Structure 1
Amino acid sequence: MLAAHALVDGCDSPALRELAGLSRGSDLDEIRERYVRALHELGIPLPDEETTGRRLLVDLASALTRGELSPVEVAGRLSMTVAARTPQETRFLSVAAHYSPWMPPHELPAWETALHTAAHTLTTSTPSDPRIPGATD
């Protein structure tokens, strides 16, 4: 869907059109190959792993603050191999890492509140300039 949205927004390349036409259940290697080719065709450098991870932190924090994801969904989508550079990124990642499906029910509300607070702090401290890694839209 992101490729289709990019086409609607005016970006266009052969690989982007192919990517937009793939189904959700397509082979991940095929998706990645077309994604990388589309970025190349559009003159967009492939982000490095650190930039991608930092962007993931901000995107998940933003989705949580907008109510698009629950705290548990955020924790499930985070990789603990993500590098955090700022204190706000570190705090968000650290709080998310404390989640466990075996967490006692009485501890869950405090964890959710802490994650919401860390998400808010991260999103409000991240510059909105798209040239800055991890910037919000």
Structure 2
Amino acid sequence: MDRLQQSTWQYVAEVLLPAELPMLAAHVLVDGHDSPALRELAGLPRRSDETEIRELYVQALDELGIPLPDEETAGRRLLVSLAVGLANAELSAKEVVDRLSMTVAARTPEETQFLSIAADYSEWMSADELPGWESGLRTAAHSLTVSIDERARARPVPS
């Protein structure tokens, strides 16, 4: 998935901040995408008005024919992204919980399990409870990433 496509769910899930969008636009131009709004966005300083940045980003997507996903889709992609980050040791269990900033809907048993264990976190967990919770979250993350890989392999390749 290219950088611009990936940015759409990150934008909707609110993990991509408006201040990051001008630099993203510059990278996307280098990647070969081009539109008037994208060029204008790439030229803005990071500290520009957030409303203007957001409007230009959405306009650039429209000009390039790239739709924004709905909140449920963005939330599910966020969930998977966090599970992959945890399974690959790129994120800690606490970072996963901290990044679940929006309401995320789970559709599969693996998504439900991962989200359920993440929701069990409490800053008041005892030192004895924390390792068990982290282990459970890592196991659920692994199950979720495996299920995604299995579903991807089961899809027929379009001719």
Structure 2-normalised TM-score?
0.69
Aligned to 2:83: 61
After TM superposition, which residue ranges in structure 1, 4 or more long, deviate above 6 angstroms?
Answer: none
Judged with a 3 Å threshold, the aligned counterparts in structure 2 of structure 1 residues 43 and 122 are, in CA distance, closer, same or farther, namely same
Confirm or deny: 8 A CA contact 1:80 1:97 kept in the other structure: no
Gaps of 5+ in 2: 1-22, 154-159
Compute the displacement of 1:84 (Å).
Answer: 0.7
Confirm or deny: 8 A CA contact 1:19 1:31 kept in the other structure: yes
Distance in 2, matches of 1:51 and 1:96, equals 19
Aligned to 2:136: 114
Compute the displacement of 1:103 (Å).
Answer: 1.2
Judged with a 3 Å threshold, the aligned counterparts in structure 2 of structure 1 residues 93 and 28 are, in CA distance, closer, same or farther, namely farther
Structure 1-normalised TM-score?
0.79
Compute the displacement of 1:14 (Å).
Answer: 2.9
Aligned to 2:61: 39
Choose 22-31 or 109-118, whichever is displaced more: 22-31
Compute the displacement of 1:3 (Å).
Answer: 3.4
The AA in structure 1 aligned to 2:37 is A
Aligned to 2:147: 125
Structure exhibiting the larger radius of gyration computed from Cα positions? 2
Query: Which protein is richer in helix relative to its size?
Result: 2
What is the RMSD of the two structures over their aligned residues, measured on CA atoms? 2.3
Distance in 2, matches of 1:66 and 1:60, equals 10
Counting matched residue pairs gives: 129
